[in-house]
């Protein structure tokens, strides 16, 4: 959360080499992914970043990385893509999830995994302060922040699932699968169509009056 913290840069070609090798390797997916994560940990920038990690932190980092590698398996059905839908309000390019094959209702998108991480009060306030500096006028636009009604606090949604955007006419619903949160399709999704979920009726202000989703735009409402 510290914006002044130095983060080493990884060369894209180094990552692409690992991904290509993973795609071309035959074998059980979990073994192929584990080997890709091992190769990732040997990249000099990653070694520098993780040099002070405890074994527990290193294991968590490896698990987190494996969720992203899973997206590139030939059996995958989604991809992470850029969207400009929110740029005029957030001032930056955002990401989204697109289907790469038709998805039928009832399908669980198993590779679209996510997990919750606790936010300290200070971290939560830092995110809110960043939101207030945006043209949106203080409406929370960090879509990876999820509020738990049960625990009455905010959490950070991590993993590829964090890039699933909201739509008031969503085509997926959150689905818990073991330790992970993933998504289940509730209406047909075509190739190239964005995978969306419903964040709640008041996530973007009362009655979602500041919502920027495609459905609200089509209906002439929202922010």
Give percent of the chain above pLDDT 70: 86
Phi, psi of 145 (to 5 degrees): -90, 120
Domain ranges of the chain: 12-71, 78-219
Measuring CA to CA, which residue among 30, 78, 72 is closest to residue 185? 78
Banded model confidence at residue 102, pLDDT cuts 50, 70, 90: very high
Q: Kindly tell me the sign of the dihedral angle through the C-alpha atoms of 93, 140, 119, 34.
A: negative
**Which tens digits make up the pLDDT trace of 151-198?**
566 777 889 998 999 999 999 998 887 778 899 999 999 999 999 999
Banded model confidence at residue 4, pLDDT cuts 50, 70, 90: low
Q: Which position has the token pair 């009655």?
A: 207
pLDDT at 143: 55
CATH H superfamily, domain 78-219: SET domain (2.170.270.10)
- The answer to whether the beta carbons of residues 117 and 153 sit under 8 Å apart is no
Phi, psi of 178 (to 5 degrees): 65, -125
Alpha-carbon distance 22 to 16, whole Å? 10
Q: Taking the complete model, does pTM exceed 0.85, yes or no?
A: no
SS3 content of the chain, % helix, strand, coil (to 5): 35, 25, 40
**Which tens digits make up the pLDDT trace of 45-69?**
999 999 999 999 999 999 999 999 9
Q: What spatial distance separates the first Cα and last Cα of the chain, rounded to whole Å?
A: 28
């Amino acid at each position: 959360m510290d914006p002044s913290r130095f983060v080493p840069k990884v060369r894209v070609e180094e990552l692409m080499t690992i991904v290509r090798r993973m795609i071309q390797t035959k074998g059980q997916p979990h073994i192929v992914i584990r080997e890709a994560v091992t190769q990732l940990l040997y990249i000099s920038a990653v070694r520098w970043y993780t040099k002070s990690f405890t074994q527990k932190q290193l294991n968590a980092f490896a698990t987190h990385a494996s969720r992203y590698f899973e997206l590139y398996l030939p059996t995958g059905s989604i991809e992470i893509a850029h969207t400009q839908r929110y740029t005029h309000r957030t001032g930056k390019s955002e990401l989204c999830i697109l289907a790469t094959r038709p998805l039928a209702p009832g399908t669980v998108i198993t590779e679209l995994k996510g997990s919750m991480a606790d936010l300290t009060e200070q971290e939560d306030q830092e995110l809110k302060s960043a939101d207030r500096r945006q043209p949106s006028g203080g409406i929370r636009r960090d879509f990876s922040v999820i509020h738990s009604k049960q625990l009455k606090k905010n959490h950070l949604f991590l993993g590829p699932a964090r890039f699933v955007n909201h739509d008031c006419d969503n085509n997926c619903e959150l689905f818990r699968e073991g330790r992970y949160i993933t998504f289940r399709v509730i209406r047909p999704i075509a190739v190239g169509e964005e995978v969306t979920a419903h964040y709640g009726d008041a996530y973007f202000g009362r009655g979602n009056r500041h919502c920027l989703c495609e459905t609200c735009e089509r209906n002439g409402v929202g922010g």
